[in-house]
């Protein structure tokens, strides 16, 4: 049975009115130039009933406000600075103080209690350090649980396998891409991961389709618990939500520290029941770097509570800026990944390119698979979603494996006169 939650971080439904919000908004506008300008003209006199008086924003909106657009005072007097990857625009630096560190620590303590991480565990932490938030915050998770941490970082899988083969490690933190590399390296070196002491995995920083989860779990010890963590650099790491088990289809939200909304991607209105919407966050507790109706660009469905104040959401379904339309069919990369991963053999990798020609998109997939399987994958896309996709075979182990987040679908803009690739029937030989 999980240990009961500490009373100082009981996860309950926090709705409105919330008497703390007006003060948080006034403080942010006074201390942070971006919020002073962004909230100018908004009626902040009565925020106890709703957030709708406040405008939303995303990372691109902060352009022109320096390296620390959301941090009061920048790095001076802060405890730690972290930074976004810069893959979707200029790199944003965010400063956090002791209060933020304690806030995130309380949430991680709650997560650790829920999943049974304790003083008897040893966490092999393969998340990135440096300016990345993952490594140090997963260290904090172990610290708050009383567990030992081995700060390996995303180096060669050989180091992790050496630890596990020597009986060191009951828990692992990794991105899904790194976990996949680790499993492939274990199979190559004939290390049987199913016979190691691993029982917990804190997996995050990128999405992992259902088919990939089950393939990876089949090579890990029976009963291994895949704990999905969700958060952002802007939230000081995975402090927003978590899923305690891979068979649980949704994430539990941290309603103590964040008010969450799921909004229509094109308006500030709540998403319709059952519809996909954009996860939007507002800080509930004081922070050096508060968020006020911050659009994360991550797309989800509400699975518990109303869209203006959910308590549970689906796993991340995609990014608001990642959708592609092929032949009139709108698809997100996660949906593409779900189909192709379910059909590829264990350990096979794939990559995709969207060739954009004016308003037309063409999706080309490269898969480590024989021609006949490529044809079957093309048929699957047509039968399941009505989409024509070109799948090209490549030899095994020719596509790059990443230690970090993996972007499997790239965008290539081509001239209007560029002819499309050969028909899908001829693409596989």
Place 95 in a pLDDT band, splitting at 50, 70 and 90. very high
Average pLDDT over residues 30-34: 95
Average pLDDT over residues 74-84: 93
As a whole-number percent, the residues of the chain with pLDDT over 70 amount to: 80
Residue 425 pLDDT exceeds 50: no
Residue 324 pLDDT exceeds 60: yes
Give a three-class secondary structure readout of the chain.
CCCCCCHHHCCCCCCCCCCCHHHHHHHHHHHCHHHHHHCCCCCCCCCCCCCCCCCCECHHHHCCCCCCCCCCCCCCCCCEEEECCCCCCCCCEEEECHHHHHHHHHHHHHHHHHHCCCCCCEEEECCCCCCCCHHHHHHHHHHHHCCEEEECCCCCHHHHHHHHHCCCCCEEEECHHHHHHHHHHHHHCCCCHHHCCCCEEEECCCCCCHHHHHHHHCCCCCCCEEEEEEEEHHHCEEEEEEECCCCCCEEEECCCCEEEEEECCCCCCECCCCCCEEEEEEECCCCCCCCCCEEEEEEECEEECCCCCCCEEECCCEECCCCEEECCEEECHHHHHHHHHHHCCCCCCEEEEEEEECCEEEEEEEECCCHHHHHHHHHHHHHHHCCCCEEEECCCCCCCCCCCCCCCEEEEECCCCCCCCCCHHHCCC
The mean pLDDT of the chain is 82
Average pLDDT over residues 285-302: 92
Average pLDDT over residues 229-240: 93
- For residue 343, the model assigns a pLDDT of 86
By mean pLDDT, which of 16-30, 51-65, 236-250 is the weakest? 16-30
Average pLDDT over residues 23-33: 91
pLDDT tens readout for residues 373-400: 998 988 888 877 777 888 888 888 778 7
- For residue 413, the model assigns a pLDDT of 54
For 202, 207, 266, 340, the CA distances from 407, given in Å and listed in that order, are 20, 10, 25, 15
Could you name the CATH architecture of 324-426? Answer: 2-Layer Sandwich (3.30)
- For residue 416, the model assigns a pLDDT of 45
Residue 4 pLDDT exceeds 80: no
Query: What is the rounded CA–CA span in Å between residue 149 and residue 172?
Result: 10
By mean pLDDT, which of 55-59, 189-193, 229-233, 315-319 is the weakest? 315-319
């Amino acid at each position: 049975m999980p240990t009961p939650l500490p009373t100082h971080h009981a996860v309950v439904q926090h709705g409105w009115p919330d008497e703390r919000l007006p003060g948080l908004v006034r403080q942010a506008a006074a201390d942070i130039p971006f919020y002073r300008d962004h909230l100018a003209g908004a009626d902040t006199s009565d925020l106890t009933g709703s957030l709708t008086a406040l405008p939303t924003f995303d990372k691109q909106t902060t352009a022109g406000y320096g390296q620390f657009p959301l941090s009061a005072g920048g790095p001076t007097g802060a405890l730690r600075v972290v930074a976004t990857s810069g893959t979707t625009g200029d790199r944003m630096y965010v400063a956090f103080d002791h209060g933020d560190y304690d806030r995130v620590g309380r949430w991680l303590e709650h997560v650790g209690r829920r999943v049974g991480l304790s003083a008897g565990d040893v966490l092999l932490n393969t998340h990135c350090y440096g300016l990345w938030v993952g490594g140090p915050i997963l260290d904090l998770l172990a610290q708050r649980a009383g567990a030992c941490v081995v700060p390996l970082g995303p180096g060669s899988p050989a180091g992790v396998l050496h630890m596990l083969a020597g009986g060191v490690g009951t828990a692992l933190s990794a991105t899904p891409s790194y976990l996949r590399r680790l499993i492939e390296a274990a199979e190559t070196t004939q290390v049987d991961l199913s016979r190691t002491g691993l029982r917990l995995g804190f997996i995050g920083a990128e999405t992992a389709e259902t088919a990939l989860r089950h393939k990876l779990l089949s090579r890990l010890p029976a009963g291994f618990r895949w704990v999905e963590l969700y958060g952002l650099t802007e939230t000081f790491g995975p402090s927003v939500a978590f899923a305690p088990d891979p068979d649980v289809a949704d994430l539990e939200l941290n309603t103590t520290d964040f008010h969450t909304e799921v909004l229509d991607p094109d308006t500030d209105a709540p998403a319709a029941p059952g519809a996909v919407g954009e996860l939007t966050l507002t800080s509930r507790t004081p922070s050096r770097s508060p968020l006020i109706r911050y659009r994360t660009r991550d797309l989800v469905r509400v699975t518990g509570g109303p869209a203006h104040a959910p308590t549970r959401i689906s796993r991340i379904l995609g990014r608001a800026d990642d959708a592609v339309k092929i032949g009139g069919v709108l698809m997100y990369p996660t949906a593409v990944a779900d189909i192709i991963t379910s059909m590829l053999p264990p350990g096979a990798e794939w990559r995709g390119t969207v060739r954009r020609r004016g308003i037309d998109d063409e999706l080309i997939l490269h898969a480590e698979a024989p021609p006949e399987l490529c044809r079957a994958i093309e048929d699957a896309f047509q039968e399941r979603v009505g989409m024509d996709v070109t799948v090209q075979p490549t030899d095994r182990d020719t596509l790059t494996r990443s230690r970090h987040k993996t972007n499997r679908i790239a965008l290539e803009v081509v001239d209007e006169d560029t002819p499309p690739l050969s028909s899908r029937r001829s693409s596989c030989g």
